[in-house]
Structure 1
Amino acid sequence: METWVLPALLGLGLAAASGFRTFLPLLMLSGAAHFELLGIDLNSSFDWVGSTGALVALAIATVVELLADLIPVVDNVLSVVGNVTRPIAAVIAAGAVFASLDPSTAAIAGLIIGAPTALAISGAQTSLRGASTVGTAGVANPVISVLEDIVSFVLSLIAMLLPILVPVLLGLLIWGVWRLTTRFRRKPSPA
């Protein structure tokens, strides 16, 4: 049972975190695998994720993504582009954590868990970003960006430390994004 349950929850958490940031969850997974932290083992076909080259490349990509997301207009472009890149990153992250499965089964599990999860979160994030841009003329976007960074980091960390908490966190996350989106979309009442 542990062969599927814990990796599935870990993959789900990393995929959800990838729905906010393409590279941050992969960087954290890469660091954990590279430095042999938190008992994270990767599937043999995904060993490259923990390599020094991948760690350096992901660190650079993460810094660029986090900084670029603070720039007006660029943040909205990244959000739209993320609807493609984030599910790909999620498939890699989710598939990589199925260490005890054969590579093809791990890749399929990553696809089943990673892509829909990241796409749903990324779509909600894009909707929230659009509502924020319209509702606040983009003034709130940098604050939302930093909050998304924090959520992506914390969700990745909790997924690696206590994957059993991932479903609860995702429920809270969905509720929070829904509340924020409806708040930004609410039209002011006529005076």
Structure 2
Amino acid sequence: MEYLNTTNIISFLIGISLAACAGFRIFVPLLISSIAFKMGWISPIESLKWLGSTEALIIFAVAAIFESLAFMIPWLDHAFDVMAAPLAAVAGMVLASAVMKDMPPSLQIGLGIIAGGGTAGMVHATSSLLRLGSTKMTGGLGNPIFAKIETLISGIGSLLAIFLPIIMILGLVLFFGGAYWILKKTILRSKPSDTPNFKN
């Protein structure tokens, strides 16, 4: 309970929120976090101060552009999505750990892996299922629009994570709730013809 204070709670919420955004896009929240670190809006832990360097900012900016464009190509988005899954979890770990600066290293790493990586992984998996639903319903034609929405959510969500983390957390809850409802109506819905008929 020693570290359960307002500062650490807010840091935790910011970290989880940024990690969630990494589930949509890996490099967009890294780019926005890098800008935030460089501008002094938030401060990273000592070992991750390089995230706010000019070099890191340029690399994240270029990577974010290429990542966003890759997801807009229908035949490439699913393949890239599979490759992005482990990277999203790693990005979530880094982002979550980076802002928990008033906690001991063991707690930073533990929360980064479990909470940050776990949240990013859950968001990425849910988003991937929604993309499959989009492919199923539109034959892949709606995927570029879906990709734009993901990038927009990742960008706006990252800003909310930094300045209004509680709002972002509420948005995350709504995302999971809405995603479950959509998936229940599409992918998870069982067709009547799939149910065996045992009547004579």
One-letter code of the match for 1:100? D
Which of 47, 63, 66 matches 1:64?
A: 66
Between structure 1 and structure 2, the one with the greater Rg is 2
Deviations 1:46-95 (A, max 9, x none): 10111111111000000000111100121111211121110000000000
* Aligned residues between the structures: 188
* Separation of aligned partners in 1, 2:50 and 2:185: 42
Runs of 4+ with deviation above 4 angstroms: 186-190
What's the offset of the Cα at 1:2?
Answer: 2.5
Query: What corresponds to 2:37 in structure 1?
Result: 33
Percent identical residues: 34
Taking structure 1 as the reference length, what is the TM-score of the superposition? 0.91
* Separation of aligned partners in 2, 1:100 and 1:91: 17
Query: What corresponds to 2:15 in structure 1?
Result: 11
Q: Which structure 2 residue ranges, 5 or more long, are not aligned?
A: 194-200
For residue 70 of structure 1, give the secondary structure of its aligned residue in structure 2.
coil
Written as runs of structure 1 = structure 2, the 5 A alignment for 1:1-191 is 1-37=5-41, 40-185=42-187
What's the offset of the Cα at 1:189?
Answer: 8.8
* Separation of aligned partners in 1, 2:72 and 2:89: 22
What's the offset of the Cα at 1:183?
Answer: 4.2
Are the counterparts in 2 of residues 10 and 94 from structure 1 also a CA contact under 8 Å?
A: yes
* Separation of aligned partners in 1, 2:103 and 2:52: 18
Measured on the aligned residues, the alpha-carbon RMSD in Å equals 1.9
Taking structure 2 as the reference length, what is the TM-score of the superposition? 0.87
Q: Which moved further from structure 2: 98-107 or 20-29?
A: 98-107
* Separation of aligned partners in 2, 1:95 and 1:161: 18
